[in-house]
Structure 1
Amino acid sequence: MIDVSALRALRSVAVLGTLAKAADELGFTASAVSQQIKRLEREVGVPVLAPAGRGVVLTPAGQAIVDSAPEVFQALEHCAEAARSVSEGAPRGVLRVVGFSTGIRGLLAPAVTALFAQAPDLSLHISEQDPEQALHSVEAGTADLAMVHDADGLPVTLPTSVSQRHVHTDVGDVVLHRTHPLAAIGRPLSIDDLAGHAWVTSPPGTVCHQWFRRLFAGAAEEPDVRHLIDDFSTQLSLVASGSVIALIPRLARPPLRDDLVALPLKRAPKREVFAAWRRSADASPAIQAVLSELSSASPTWGDEHVRSDSQAG
């Protein structure tokens, strides 16, 4: 009979391309993963990997095994979930959650207190991963639940074995000093309002930089970007000097100082946040408990100091 841990190791090697990367993901040494693969080859009687430069590739037999692996994992998880459901359906045990940092900080962390009050026998193990890696971890079985967001306005592409639920819409606001000229405008800001002002923004390659570029798409002149800073707390420190303004997502924004204010935009950039899990775990009491809290939780910061039309001016 094929060993499940060896099957999981082969699947990780197939996705990541090397024994070392698979070992990092699975929490083993490369030697241990190599031994698992060799054991699998002895069990099936044929080679499943072949060397390819500095990495490895699947043999046709290995590919056939990997293609069948999701059905095996789903069947095993159905067995486990059936056992959990029999046990009163109470959320218990360890749930491995992966997600992007601001989603963890703004959505998951605020939900933890209420979650543990409702499910004292449940424990969360949380790791930061970007959306693509998080979805792979869920599909591969190294994580149980992922928090992901759409990429530059494009919908999240899910494996067929993964379910999802929308949990939040994140919005970007312009943050500035209370004495800044824009603070006196009594309505959401337009692209024309922003012309001629100096900015601090996130570096190229980040979601927030993509938001910033889209905001100024079609503008008559390029924005005056003075600083490229990845850390939002540092951005806010520069904004507090009164010399620059910033575009910051609400989930990413720490509580604002009293001398700062966030103003809404007419065409505010948005990103949709989803929770994702394996379809075979749909009945998991632990996953359903977390989903319930995520859907009802509000970020602990982000909306404060955002002026409405009636408040501005």
Structure 2
Amino acid sequence: MLDLHRLRLLREVAGRGTVHAAARSLGYTPSAISQQLAVLEREAGAPLLERVGRNVRLTDAGAVLVRHAASLLAGVEAAEAELASVAAGRPAGVVRVAAFQSAFLSIVVPAIRSVLGEHPAIRVEATEIDVELAAPALRLQQLDAVVGDEYEGHPLAVHDDLVREPLLREQNRLVLPLGHEAADRARVPLAELAAATWVASQPGTGHREMVVRACREAGGFEPDLRYSSDDFLTQIELVRTAGAVALLPDLVLAHHPAPGVVTRPVERGPVGREVFLSTRAARTPAIAAVADAMRAAAADRTAAPLP
């Protein structure tokens, strides 16, 4: 008989690409995982993994097991959650949530407050993480719900086994130092900021790609990205004290109004961002309750105008 724990290890290795990556994720040693997978191969009667350079990939037999493992583990998860709900007489259990910083503050925290009041038998565990890192953990059942963001012109990978629903759509607005010559405009053409010093998130992020693409397509120039930080509060401070220019989302600006800077809409350009909720297809009653709370928090934020 196949062991569910070993099936989970196999799925983790397949999802992470290497035994070492799976070991780091699960808190095991690589040798311990290798030993368990060797036992699983004996139980299955066929090789399950083959090495490709430094990575591993599933054999045909391994792919069959991983496909069934996803269904089996999802069934166990649903059964455990349903039992907890029956025992409590209401939605119950642990729901693990991840979100990026501004959505954590504006959507997840209000949702947690709502769940604590309406569903005391649900334990919400929340962490701040980028969506690129959260998606694999969601697929591997280490997270239950992820609030992510997708910048216009920078689409994320699509996963058929996940359900994605939009929570809100927002714009990225120019953040300028107080007294900047463009601050008196109702809308600022990006072309007027070709000589400016810019700040954006680190290379490889959706935010940085959005800034570069907007400057190229709407402004016709390559931005002088002198400063890099994934912390939007640091970006605002660089605008205020170093005279930089930034493009920041509404969620950030609504939650962190800052003295010494002004915000203006961009005249045109690919500066939109969608904030979305992603879960696995099967939502337990507890996950559904948390999703409802985050949906309501996002609706409240959409209805609230920028200060």
Establish whether TM, by shorter chain, passes 0.5: yes
Aligned residue in 2 for 1:215: 214
Partners of 1:99 and 1:130 within 8 A in 2: yes
Q: How far 1:219 moved relative to its partner?
A: 5.1
Q: 1:279 aligns with which of 281, 300, 306?
A: 281
In the alignment, the residues of structure 2 paired with residue 255 and residue 301 of structure 1 have an alpha-carbon distance, to the nearest angstrom, of 14
SS across alignment from 1:228? strand
Partner SS state of residue 280, structure 1: coil
- Correspondence list, 1:239-258, <5 A: 239-241=239-241, 243-253=243-253, 255-258=256-259
Give the Å deviation of 1:196.
Answer: 4.3
TM-score, reference length from structure 2? 0.84
- TM-superposed CA distance for 1:66, in Å, is 1.6
In structure 2, the residue matched to 1:311 is none
Aligned partner of 1:265 in structure 2 is 266
Are the equivalent residues in 2 in contact too, given 1:239–1:245 (CA < 8 A)?
A: yes
TM-superposed CA distance for 1:232, in Å, is 2.4
Superposition pairs for residues 157-176 of structure 1, below 5 Å? Answer: 157-176=157-176
Contact 1:256 1:305 in 2 (8 A): no
Q: Distance in 2 between matches of 1:275 and 1:118?
A: 21
Q: Give 1:292's aligned residue.
A: 292
Q: Return 5+ residue gaps in structure 2 as ranges.
A: none
Residues 133, 196 of structure 1: alpha-carbon distance in 2 compared, 3 angstrom cutoff? closer
Distance in 1 of aligned mates of 2:125 and 2:214: 37
How far residue 288 of structure 1 moved from its aligned partner, in angstroms, is 1.7
- CA-CA distance at 1:9 after TM superposition: 0.6
CA drift at 1:14: 1.5
Superposed counterparts of 1:24-103, under 5 Å: 24-87=24-87, 90-103=90-103
Q: 2-side partners of 1:15 and 1:66: how far apart?
A: 10
1: CA distance, partners of 2:126 / 2:243: 38
- C-alpha spacing 1:237/1:160, structure 2 compared with 1 (3 Å): closer
SS of match in other structure, 2:139: helix
Residue pairs, 1:93-172, within 5 angstroms:
93-150=93-150, 152-172=152-172
Give the paired residue count: 304
Aligned equivalents of 1:128, 1:143: Cα separation in 2? 12
Shift of 1:246: 1.6
Work out whether residues 201 and 247 of structure 1, in 8 Å CA contact, stay in contact via their aligned partners in 2.
Answer: yes
- On the 8 A contact 1:199/1:245 being kept in 2, the answer is yes
Deviation at 1:173, TM superposition (A): 0.9
Query: Is contact 1:179-1:242 (8 Å) kept?
Result: no
CA contact (8 A) 2:154 2:206 kept: no
Deviation (angstroms), 1:88: 6.2
Could you say if the C-alpha distance between residues 184 and 159 of structure 1 is closer, same or farther in structure 2, counting changes exceeding 3 Å? closer
Q: Kindly indicate whether residue 178 of structure 2 is the aligned counterpart of residue 178 of structure 1.
A: yes
Which region of structure 1 is more displaced relative to structure 2, 105-114 or 169-178? 105-114
Identity of aligned residues (%): 31
Aligned-partner Cα distance in 2 for 1:64–1:160 = 17
Per-residue CA shift, 1:182-207, capped at 9, x if unaligned? Answer: 2222x222334545444333343222
Change (3 A) 1:54 1:265: closer
**TM-score under structure 1 length normalisation:** 0.82
Q: Deviations over 1:55-112 (max 9, x none)?
A: 4333332222123222222333343344345346633222112333443234213432
Residue 123 of structure 2: SS of its match in structure 1?
A: strand
Conservation of the 8 A alpha-carbon contact between 1:107 and 1:294: yes
CA deviation vs aligned residue, 1:239-297 (integer Å, no higher than 9, x gap): 1137332211233456132222222223361121221112122xx22212221221121
- Aligned residues of 2:135 and 2:146 also touching (Cα < 8 A): yes
Report the 3-state secondary structure (helix = DSSP H, G, I; strand = E; otherwise coil) of the residue aligned with 1:32: helix
State which drifts further: 42-51 or 208-217. Answer: 42-51
